Structure 1
Amino acid sequence: MPSKLKIDPPLLNSACPWSTSLEDIKELYDSPYTGAVTIRTSLLEGFTHDDSVHQYIFFTPGKTIPANAPKGEESNPKGSKSTTEQTPSSATSSSSAEPVSTLNTLGYSHLTLSEYLGIINEIVGQRHLGTDTPTKKPFILSVTGTPDEISMAYALIANAAEMDEDLRLAMEVNLSCPNIAHASPPAYDPAQLAEYLEAISDSKSTYRGRMATPESVPKVGIKLSPYTHAAQFDMVVAALRAAKSNEPGESCVVDFLTCTNTLGSSLLLNDALEPVLHSESGTGLGGLAGAALHPLALGNVATFRRLLDQTPETKDIAIIGVGGVEDKAGFDRMRKVGANAVACASALGRYGVRVFESITKGE
């Protein structure tokens, strides 16, 4: 199964709260067990984070959640890991050995795309000094916004790649966050999806002639919502087949899919029968991830791989499988159903960067 996005080893993080700060990103980059680093989803102008609204919690499905259970918040605007380290030992899990899921009502990063490009330059720049970042692995910059803003985001990323040959950059267009009030994820809407694919096509065409080699043109992927019936999968694949590149040797303008994002409209009630989390909508509804999402994520990866492989326009699209992987068995399941690489979010928040070593070694 050929891949247009090279991630070796085929293990990385997905865009999440634990890939927000310089410290987060450098730790992920320095790990010999990650083949790429995904930056938390950003906007051109940043996102206004509010601790009283944008929250997350670890929980064990079927277990009662105490009303005073600690919630993950981002009180430290620099992205402190303090809440990450506290959460796995919180009262939301009756045993550290149990599979843990997450629910979140988060939006996007408060840092802008330009700030993240600066962070990446700082990390990669240390390579020239012979310090502790000897590898050159890809950074996947997760971005969102309108189609026009996505075009501008690609321009920023392509310009950065053009100026420094040591930067291996890709762009992931997040079309699937379920937590933004009054904004349905474009990944569910064929008309919106087509608009974004057109913007991606135009952006890649603009910069292809300027880059030193075709390989240096930043790869582009889309982060998809979880789908639950055949018509949804067919809609996405039809859009991808229609988004053909005019360049020789290219089939689709999209190089990879990140599959899948969190499952929206999920709700947790505490022992007082009140919503555990706050949210922009005021309902406490959020995105479900971790162990509870794993079977659906596996099904999404398997279905997309089967459908993509059926036509030459889409067979080379890579899939980054994400959803509930926290050990080698989960990694192996994702690879078995067709993931070119496997990403973790909830497990990263629960265990820290050491989770990638554990997965690799089967510990």
Structure 2
Amino acid sequence: MSKLNVKLPGLNLKNPIMPASGTFGFGDVPQAKKYDLNEMGAMVFKTTTLHARIGNPQPQIAVMKNGVLNSVGLTNPGVDKVISDKIAPFKEQYPQLPLIASVGGSQISDYITIAKKLSDSGLLNALEINVSCPNVAAGGMHLGTDPVVVEKLTSEIKKVVNIPVYIKLTPNVTNIVEIAQAAERGGADGLSMINTLLGLGIDIKTHKATLGNGFGGWSGSAIKPVAVRMVAQVHQAVKLPIIGMGGIETAEDIVEFMLAGASAVAVGTAHFKDGLAIPHLVADLETLLNELKVDDINELIGQYKF
């Protein structure tokens, strides 16, 4: 057994590193062709909605010196085509790789329908429920900021699926702990956190927003201290395992998230700098654990207490 092995509900990971939803498409982006994706701990697909979405107005992405603003708008071909045209061929190519689908919607009934279809496909190991996308006008932000809704949504999804459910938490709330506790009460198997912070860039020459949709999700190294703080707070308030994310670029970042309470991590914005971010991080993490004299990465989880 490798010192990088991590076990989570539904997920037996050879290492704790996966791409954040939306940053690796459906395994069909250019960087996905650069290495054997079996080097990942798991694959997380981009968010699926009930019907096809063309996304938000261009420009959808603005790369800045210490992060990225995005307002892609959940572009995808709709759940039925995602299953048949995206997930099924990916599963055929990578039969041993744990697969996580991300579910998005504008109302609870959408989430239930999508989650059931994905679960019934038999192709997936877990679902990530995206209640936290800050750039979808109809639903995402509202659903994920109300603990009553989060508990109900989680509970309703759990009734129709037969694979573990991870609720992806938004940081755009006053108290993220109460949202995490609501997901736990609803029967969530785990949490995924954090999604992007709501941001805005303004072009000083045109006086218009940098993104075509105005506001967007802010990610990258600049948000890491916020993400680590939130993971630590939630880990000490609930019993659910956490997939942590938010500005991870180095092996040291991964160890920091795990000390805060994450059992695994997701990497997103780092791919803008390095298309091979995940295999590089896997190698660097093994080296770092040797330097720290850590024989099992699970020993690190939640060692930080406040």
Shorter-chain TM-score above 0.5: yes
Q: What residue is the counterpart of 1:262 in the other structure?
A: 196
Please tell me whether residue 221 in structure 1 is matched to residue 166 in structure 2.
yes
Q: CA deviation at 1:294?
A: 0.7
2:54 to 48, 61, 64: 48
Closer/same/farther in 2, CA of residues 275 and 320 from structure 1, 3 Å limit: farther
Closer/same/farther in 2, CA of residues 233 and 2 from structure 1, 3 Å limit: farther
Q: CA deviation at 1:25?
A: 9.1
Matched AA of 1:3: L
Q: What residue is the counterpart of 2:149 in the other structure?
A: 192
Q: What residue is the counterpart of 1:115 in the other structure?
A: 81
Matched AA of 1:56: I
Q: What residue is the counterpart of 1:342 in the other structure?
A: 265
Q: What residue is the counterpart of 2:132 in the other structure?
A: 176
**Residue 44 of structure 1 contacts residue 153 of structure 1 at CA under 8 Å; is this kept in 2?**
yes
2:277 to 355, 358, 361: 355
1:102 to 45, 65, 68: 68
**Residue 56 of structure 1 contacts residue 106 of structure 1 at CA under 8 Å; is this kept in 2?**
yes
| Number of positions where the alignment pairs a residue of Structure 1 with one of Structure 2 | 276
Q: SS of 1:307's equivalent? A: coil
Q: SS of 2:8's equivalent? A: coil
Q: SS of 2:233's equivalent? A: helix
Q: CA deviation at 1:349?
A: 2.9
**Residue 20 of structure 1 contacts residue 39 of structure 1 at CA under 8 Å; is this kept in 2?**
yes
Matched AA of 2:253: G
Alignment of 1:1-363 (within 5 A): 3-6=8-11, 7-20=13-26, 22-23=28-29, 27=33, 30-52=36-58, 55-60=60-65, 100-118=66-84, 119-126=86-93, 133=94, 136-145=96-105, 146-161=107-122, 167-181=123-137, 183=139, 184-204=141-161, 217-226=162-171, 229=174, 232-243=175-186, 253-264=187-198, 266-272=199-205, 274-280=207-213, 284-308=214-238, 315=239, 317-352=240-275, 354-362=276-284
Q: Whole-Å Cα distance in 2 between the matches of residues 109 and 49 of structure 1?
A: 5
Residue ranges of structure 1 left out of the alignment (5+ in a row): 61-99, 127-132, 162-166, 205-216, 244-252, 309-314
Q: Whole-Å Cα distance in 2 between the matches of residues 185 and 27 of structure 1?
A: 36
Closer/same/farther in 2, CA of residues 176 and 8 from structure 1, 3 Å limit: same
Q: CA deviation at 1:274?
A: 2.7
Q: CA deviation at 1:29?
A: 8.8
The root-mean-square deviation of aligned C-alpha atoms, in Å, is: 2.5
Matched AA of 2:79: L
**Residue 148 of structure 1 contacts residue 199 of structure 1 at CA under 8 Å; is this kept in 2?**
no
Residue ranges of structure 2 left out of the alignment (5+ in a row): 1-5, 286-306
Percentage of pairs with the same residue: 24
Q: Whole-Å Cα distance in 2 between the matches of residues 306 and 24 of structure 1?
A: 39
Q: CA deviation at 1:326?
A: 1.1
Q: CA deviation at 1:273?
A: 6.7
Closer/same/farther in 2, CA of residues 26 and 234 from structure 1, 3 Å limit: closer
Matched AA of 2:129: V
Superposition TM-score, scaled by structure 1 size: 0.69
Matched AA of 2:262: A
Matched AA of 1:355: A
Q: Whole-Å Cα distance in 2 between the matches of residues 171 and 270 of structure 1?
A: 38
Closer/same/farther in 2, CA of residues 29 and 195 from structure 1, 3 Å limit: farther
Closer/same/farther in 2, CA of residues 346 and 141 from structure 1, 3 Å limit: same
Matched AA of 1:142: S
Q: CA deviation at 1:256?
A: 1.5
Superposition TM-score, scaled by structure 2 size: 0.81
| Greater C-alpha radius of gyration | 1
Q: Whole-Å Cα distance in 1 between the matches of residues 152 and 34 of structure 2?
A: 33
